[in-house]
């Protein structure tokens, strides 16, 4: 398992200090729509937490090119993004000529996907991917695994390995201690697995195909 970061050049739109400032005055309770990854989760600025408006500004172009270079992906190579949301990262791979597929649990996100790639996205769950074995040259999941209930995480990891004939790349949000854990839970209560980098290393080490990983800390 290799630690690597393809998103260093992506400018953060919201840092830890900004998140803490927004939480200082207290946050409104997350709605049922929020927990269902609906419009409140992605596009409601009044909640003060989460995305508060998830639009695309072109930030993933460099990361997509770097990923293609690292994994030797060429036009026609097949890539799957699990938890693709509105498909903004997949849009950049599509522009580079890759055969893209995306899966997300959010009906709202898929319905609001970038129009150039919406037809390549589907609704689904990480624990049972609707694809054959060895279907993709790269399987990636960006900031998705902490949203999977811990008891279902082994199934999700096994499914990622099953459908990949090439690389696997994860971006995983981790915590450094109790304060991080509390702040992450407050900032996005849909997080299910609030664990340390060491815990994630151990969890991912059991995969039959070893992933590359970027660990991200929100606070």
Structural domains for the chain: 16-55 (no CATH), 58-216 (3.40.50.150)
Name residues of the chain where pLDDT drops below 70: 9-14, 23, 25-28, 47-53
Predicted local distance difference test score (pLDDT) of residue 47 = 67
Entry pTM: 0.91
Predicted local distance difference test score (pLDDT) of residue 13 = 54
Predicted local distance difference test score (pLDDT) of residue 186 = 83
Q: Tell me how far CA of residue 159 lies from CA of 4, 179, 201, in angstroms.
A: 22, 32, 18
The sign of the dihedral angle between the CA atoms of 123, 127, 130, 136 is positive
């Amino acid at each position: 398992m290799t630690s690597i970061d393809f998103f260093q050049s992506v400018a953060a739109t919201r840092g830890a200090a900004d998140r803490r400032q927004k939480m200082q005055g207290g946050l409104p309770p997350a709605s049922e729509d929020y927990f269902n990854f609906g419009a409140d989760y992605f596009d409601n600025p009044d909640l003060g937490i989460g995305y508060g408006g998830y639009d695309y500004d072109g930030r993933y172009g460099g990361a997509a090119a770097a990923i293609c270079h690292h994994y030797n992906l060429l036009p026609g190579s097949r890539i799957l993004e699990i938890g693709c949301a509105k498909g903004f990262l997949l849009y950049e791979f599509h522009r580079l000529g890759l055969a893209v597929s995306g899966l997300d649990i959010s009906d709202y996100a898929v319905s609001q996907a970038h129009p150039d790639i919406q037809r390549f996205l589907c609704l689904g769950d990480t624990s049972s991917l609707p694809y054959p074995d060895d279907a993709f040259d790269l399987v990636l999941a960006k900031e998705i695994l902490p949203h999977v209930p811990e008891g279902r995480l082994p199934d999700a990891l096994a499914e990622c390995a099953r459908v990949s004939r090439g690389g696997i790349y994860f971006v995983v949000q981790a915590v450094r201690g109790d304060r991080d854990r509390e702040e992450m839970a407050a900032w996005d209560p849909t997080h299910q697995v609030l664990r340390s980098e060491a815990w994630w290393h151990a969890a991912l080490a059991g995969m039959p195909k070893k992933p590359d990983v970027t660990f991200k800390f929100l606070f």
